[in-house]
Chains A and B, each alone.
Chain A
Amino acid sequence: MNKLALHIGCHGDQGFTLQLDCELPGSGITAVYGPSGSGKSTLLDCIAGLREAAPGSIVRLGSHTWQDAGIAVPTWKRQIGYVFQDARLFPHLNVQQNLQYALTRRHQESKLHLSQVVNWLELDELLTSATDTLSAGQKQRVAIGRALVSSPHLLLLDEPLANLDHTSRQNCMRCLQRVSQDLQLPMLYVSHDIEEVSQLADYLLLLDGGRLVEQGSMFALSGRLDTRLAQEEQAAAILVARVARHDTQYGLTELDVEGHTLFVNHLAHAPGESRRIRIPARDVSVCRQRPRDSSILNILPVVLDEVEDTDNARLLLRLSLGSQYLLARITRRSAVELGLQVGDQLYAQIKSAALLTEASDSL
C-alpha cells in the first residue's frame, strides 16, 4: 500500500517552526486543516521542495522518495502538482498555452489527455482567452487543469477555492472529487474552511502552531468528541445519505440515512446517489418523547452514546443513528433537567435549515 510518509522539520519566518511526523493515505483527498499560521502552506512548500526542510526530513510516497538522508530532489524533478491560492497562470500565455506548458514538460507517459482535462474542468470556451480576462474561478480551474495535465504523482492544493464565489466553489469541488476518483491521484488539500473540508476530504490532518494535533479518516474524526474539531463552535457530524426520492410538491428531497428519512431542500441528484451531509451540532436538540405537532420535519430516534463537557454551560452529545453519529450541543442545565444518561433512547430534532447549508447542496 502506498503511503505518504512525512517527517518534516522546517524553520519558517519569525521563529515559527513546523514539526511534523505522520503517515497519510496514498490515495483520496487528505485535508490539511487548521487556523491561519498553523503551518499548512509551509507544509505544502516543504513537500513540493519550494522551501528547504531541515536535515533529516523525509518526504516519500510509495516508491518515490523526494527527500531523505542525502536526497533532496529539486522541485522541478519531483512531479508534484501544486495549485496555488493565487492561480499563478503565466501572463504571457493564453489558457491553451498554459495547459500546453505543462503538457510538454511532463515526465511520465500518461493516459490522461488534454481534452479530458478540458472536459472535466469545462475549459473549452476559455482556451483562446488571455489569462487576465478570466474571473477568479476560471483562473483557478485553469490552474487545477494545468497541474493535472502535468500528470503528477501527488497534487497539492493551497486553499484553491478561497477567492471563489459559491457557485464556482461548488463546481470546482465536484470536479476535484471526480478527478481524485478517476485518476487515483492522491491530493493534499489545505483549507481553513471546515465546511469545504467536510465535503471534500476522506482523511483529515489537523495542524496548530506547526504541530500535528489530530489525524484520521473524516468520518471517524467527525464522530469523536475529544478532538479539537468537536470543541470548535462549528462542530458538526458528517453522515452519508442516499437520495431516496424527490418531493416536487413541497420542493424537498427525501434522503435515506440508516433506514430513516431526512428531508432537505430540493437537490439536483438522481435517486440512488450517495451524498455526504453535514449537520452542525448547534442545530440538533434532543427530547425524551417524540414531539408531536412540531414544525421540525426531521426527528430521528437515536441512542445517547457519549457526553463531553465542552465548557461550563454546555455539553456536546454523541448520538448513534445505526452505525453513524449525530452531534448535539445542549446546555448543561437541559441535560440535568432531562436526566440524560449514556444509553438513553432519545429523539434528535434537526432544524431543517441545518441541512440547507452549503454541505447539503453540494458534493
Chain B
Amino acid sequence: MSLNNAELDAVYLTLALASITTVLLLILGTPLAWWLSRRRGNLSAALEAVVAMPLILPPTVLGFYLLLLFAPNSALGQFWQQLTGSQLAFSFSALVIGSVLYSLPFVVQPLQSAFQRMPQGLLQAAATLGASPLDQFRSIVLPLTRRSFITAASLGFAHTVGEFGVVLMIGGNIPGETQVLSIAMYDAVESLRFVEAHRMAGALVLFSLALLFVLYRSDGYSWRVRA
C-alpha cells in the first residue's frame, strides 16, 4: 500500500509547512519566552493571554480573522501584493503565518517555564566571569534548557502537522500549494474515497504516536536543576 502522487504532494507540503513553522517559531518564540519569563506586569500578562489564545479558541475563529486580514483588498494583502507580486490569501505563505500564530503557545510555554526555572544565580556568576548577556544565554541557558527546546520544537511541529481549521479557512484546498495532509484526508472522506482517507489517517496517527512516544521517553518534561 503506497501513497499516490497527490498524497505524496500533501505529505511533502505538510512536512515543509511544519518545518518552516517550527524554525520560525523557535526564532520568534525564544526571545518572546525569555521576555515573558523575566517580566511580571499587565503588559506581560496581556501578551501571555494573547499567546495562549489558540489553546482555547476554535481554529476557525482564528482562521476567519486571518482570512479577513489576508484578503487582497486589505492593507496587509495589498502590501504583500506589492512586495511579492502574488496574493497572500490561499497561498503557502499565508499558511505559514497562520501556523506560526496557531502553534505559538506550544513553543512559547515550554520555553517560558524552562527559563523561569533557570536559576538566576548561575547567570549572575557567569556575568561576574565576564560573560555578556548573549554569551550567558548561549553558554548557560541553552545547554541547561536543551530538553525544553526539543520539547517545544516537537510540540510546535506536531501541532502544525495536526492543524486543520485554520488551514481550511485561509488556505483553501489547492493541491501542491495549500492542500496539507489533514485537508487532503478530509477531502477524500468528503468524496467517499475511504481507502485513501484510511491511508492518510493511519499515517497521521502513527506519526503523532511515534513523536509523542519519543518525546515522553526522552524525559523532556522533567528538566531538573542539578545544583
Contacts and interface: CB of A to CB of B under 8 A. Distances in A.
Contacts of B47: none
Contact of B125 (A74, A80, A82): A82
A50 B226 contact: no
B34 to A, nearest CB: 17
A84 B121 contact: yes
Interface string B128-149: 1111110110011001100000
B139 A147 contact: no
A76 B121 contact: no
B122 A132 contact: no
Contacts of B135: 76, 105
Most chain B CB neighbours (cut-off 10 Å) among A82, A88, A131, A147: A88
B128 A48 contact: yes
Nearest to B226: A91
B81 interface: no
A92 B144 contact: yes
B227 interface: yes
Given A91-B144, A101-B139, A132 B131 contact: no
Nearest to B125: A88
A75 B121 CA distance: 13
A102 interface: yes
B225 interface: yes
A3 B209 CA distance: 66
A33 to B, nearest CB: 22
Contacts of B131: 76, 101, 105
Given A76-B132, A76-B133, A101-B139, A90 B122 contact: yes
B159 to A, nearest CB: 29
Q: Please classify how large the interface on chain A is, using the bins under 10, 10 to 19, 20 to 34, 35 or more.
A: 20 to 34
A160 interface: no
Contacts of B129: 76, 81, 101-102, 105-106, 146-147, 150
A138 to B, nearest CB: 14
Most chain B CB neighbours (cut-off 10 Å) among A48, A74, A105, A131: A105
A48 B226 CA distance: 25
Given A82-B125, A84-B125, A88-B122, A107 B130 contact: yes
Contacts of B128: 48, 50, 75-76, 78, 80-82, 147, 150
Q: Is the interface of A mostly helix, strand, loop or mixed?
A: mixed
A349 interface: no
Given A84-B121, A90-B122, A92-B143, A132 B226 contact: yes
Nearest to B144: A92
A27 interface: no
Q: Is the interface of B mostly helix, strand, loop or mixed?
A: helix
Contacts of B225: 91
Contacts of A107: 130
A114 B127 CA distance: 20
Nearest to A88: B125
A88 B226 CA distance: 11
A308 interface: no
Given A86-B121, A105-B135, A91 B130 contact: no
A86 B120 CA distance: 12
A42 interface: no
A320 to B, nearest CB: 44
A362 interface: no
Contacts of A146: 129
Interface string B113-131: 0000001011011111111
A79 interface: yes
B162 to A, nearest CB: 33
Contacts of B133: 76
B122 A79 contact: no
A91 B126 CA distance: 12
A150 B130 contact: yes
A30 B131 CA distance: 27
B129 to A, nearest CB: 5
A90 B122 CA distance: 7
A79 B130 CA distance: 7
Nearest to B227: A91
Interface string A68-107: 0000001111111110101010111000000001100111
Contact of A88 (B124, B132, B139): B124
A67 B146 CA distance: 36
Interface in A51-81: 74-81
Contacts of A80: 128
A121 to B, nearest CB: 16
Interface of B: 119, 121-122, 124-133, 135-136, 139-140, 143-144, 225-227
14 contacts: A50-B124, A74-B127, A76-B130, A76-B135, A81-B129, A84-B121, A90-B140, A91-B226, A92-B140, A101-B131, A106-B129, A132-B227, A147-B129, A150-B129
Given A76-B126, A91-B144, 7 more contacts: A50-B127, A76-B132, A76-B136, A101-B139, A102-B129, A105-B129, A107-B130
Closest 3 CB pairs of A and B: A105-B130, A88-B125, A75-B127
